[in-house]
Structure 1
Amino acid sequence: MNKLPETVFKALSDSTRLRCLTLLCQEGELCVCELTHAIQMPQPKVSRHLALLRESGIVADHRRGQWIFYRINPDLPVWVRDILERTAREIAPTEPFVRDHERLTTMAERPGATCVV
């Protein structure tokens, strides 16, 4: 995986991707439906942004039952993980990130908590 700085900063430059990445840094792993619920955007739009992040190697995914779960790619270079984690930590207490996290934590029947592996 070749992580050029442009790829990382391009991913962070879009508000939808930044919101998804922030939630993934906070939660570790989320399914598409959790992300769509949290950021209040249509599933096709969120999936399109997640596909771009997956193709760039920033996130990894796996299927568990009927759900596809995403997480920050554990094979990222340290400098990329540092940027993502620092960015998420610094912006998490601001809007819309606070609201996104509140919606996620109050989501009923979250697949991450209820699906059977």
Structure 2
Amino acid sequence: MLTRMLDNLLSNAVKFTRSKVAIRLEASPAGAVLKVADDGIGIGPDHLSKIWDRFYQMEDSWNKGLNSGIGLGLSFIKDIADLHRAEVKIISEEGRGSLFRVSFPQIKDKTSV
């Protein structure tokens, strides 16, 4: 499932970037943080609360004809994060790109890894 999450994050970043995608995995005292950022079209504030809904797509996407989908990728990301007790957030600005941040909690019992 984590592979699917990363694939969806990267696929979206590549679809909507202008020139670059950045991936970063960081350790933190609370666990691990995965960040995927692009410098693409961004997501406006009126869409941010809806992007996790199944089948939701931004109608004003500049390349919708080239990068069509059915609107399930971000809802899968949210579902997978929830199953792993992770928190997924987005910081986005229209015309400047998006940063998806997935914070995974620390595993308490190291023998279960």
Fold match by TM threshold 0.5: no
Structure 1 or 2: larger helix share?
1
Larger Rg: 2
- Could you tell me the TM-score, scaled by structure 1's length? 0.31
TM-score (normalised: structure 2): 0.31
The structure carrying a bigger strand percent of its residues is: 2
